[in-house]
Every structure is written in C-alpha cells, then in structure tokens.
Copies of this chain bind each other. A is one copy, B any other.
Amino acid sequence: MNMEVPEGHPRAESLRIREKLIRGFEMGVVAKAGLIAHGRGEAFDYIIGEETIEPAMNAIRAAVALMLTAEHPVISVNGNTAALVPKEIVELAKLVNAKIEVNIFYHSPERVNAIRRLLEDAGAEEILGIDDQYKTTIPEISSMRRYVDVRGIYKADVVLVPLEDGDRTEALVKLGKKVIAIDLNPLSRTAQWATITIVDNIVRCVPLMCDIARELRGRDRQELGRIVEKFDNRENLKLVIRHILERLSELSKKGIYLPEVSEVFKEMRE
C-alpha cells in the first residue's frame, strides 16, 4: 500500500512514521498486532502533544544513567522497534555497551530472521535471542516472550523494553531486574511496573537517549548513581498524567477549533 502523505497535512510527521511501520510490516518485521499497537501509541502521542515532554526527558536521563551503571544491560527489540528505529537502537547499544536481544510475541523463524537482517543492515554486530543454543525460558512469562537468551535478558540486571506488554514487564521486575520501559500510555501495566518509564514516542526518544548517553558516558559511577537515585518513577508518572490532563482541558477549551457549523452554512450560501 502506498500511503501518500499530503503536504501540509496536520499529522504529516505521524503519517510518515506510520509509513515506515507499514514498510516493516511488508518486510515481515512487524506483526499485524504490531500495527494495532502502533495505532494505540499514535492516540496517546496525540494526547500528549507529539512532543517529548519534560517528565520524559527526566526519565530518559535516569534511564541512560542506569544503563551506564549496569553490569549486563540489554535492549530487548521487537518488530515495531526494529522497524522504526533500527539504527538508533544499534547506536544506543554501542554507547551504553548493551547487548541487543530479539524478543517477540508472535514468533516465527521468518520473522526473527527479518528482524535480524534489519538490525544487521543497521550495523548490529551481535544479536542475541536468535541462536537456539543459548535459548532458555523464563517460566513466569506465559507467551512466546518467555524464550530468552542466557547471555542476554536471562542474566541482565537492566533491560530496556521499548513498546512492551504488561505481563513481561511485571515478570522481569519480579525476577529482580530493573526494567526501563518506553510506553506512550502512562496508565499501562508496563508503565506502572517499570523501574523507569519513559512516556514518549520511540522515534523521538531513542535518538535523545543517544545524545544523553554521549553526554553522560564520561561521568563517574557515583554521579550516575545519584542521577538514578534522584529519579522517582511514580512521581514522574504523575507529572505525565498532569500534563495530559492540562493538555486535554486546554484542547477542549479552545476546543472546537472550527467555525460554528451554522457559520459554515452561511458562508456556503453567500
């Protein structure tokens, strides 16, 4: 399907991201449920204002500091993430010295391969979660996502899970791992369970994480530790929700951003 994005369309950027995702779908990287999940993200992003808000920036900073102080940080990659930000994920992994592991809900060898190819084209040298030799299971997770790599998520102390399902986040946290979630819904179980929740569009926030990683890389562990300590996820999520409430009530006040319908009819008649 060729989706032409009309110039000057009010949601042009959002439509361009959607095109990228649909290309990922056509390559076999994105699942059908991934298209639906993307739509949910679009709605929340629309409500947030399609920009990286301050609480997201705070979470990004804490998340990068946490990854930089981790012993075994892992970035878990699913289809949508691979389709939308493959290069940025590879770059972030290099900057914070994290492993990349493919972990998907709708599992098939073809899909895993398509994701692997995409990540390799983006410059990934090592991709975990592919070689059966290293496969083990996390029994606490009931879906196909329970299969993890012994060198990766299994032994990770910090896992970055962009675009996650709630069950897995909960299971990983209960296993004692620190979980960084990227989720546009601040009320989701993922958002609530994660150690650090970045409420932002993955397309905006992964490049920002790279910037912050470049800034923080040289700092000593104590300073990074303080950045993490200072961050309170619960308070931060409240700030996100406050932002949403303010934005919605603003939108609804200036609201009705079109002329009265009766005025339109009048114009038509003239």
Contacts and interface: CB of A to CB of B under 8 A. Distances in A.
Contact of A245 (B106, B248, B268): B248
- Chain A interface residue bracket vs B: 35 or more
A59 to B, nearest CB: 15
Nearest to A184: B43
A142 B6 contact: yes
A113 to B, nearest CB: 17
A249 B245 contact: yes
Contacts of A237: 252, 255-256
A171 to B, nearest CB: 11
Which of A3, A22, A37, A261 counts the most chain B CB atoms within 10 A? A261
A225 interface: no
Interface in A1-16: 1, 3, 6, 10
Interface of A: 1, 3, 6, 10, 18, 21-22, 25, 31-33, 35-44, 46-47, 106, 142, 170, 173-174, 176, 185-187, 189, 192-193, 195, 233-234, 237-238, 241-242, 244-245, 248-249, 251-252, 255-258, 261, 264-265, 268
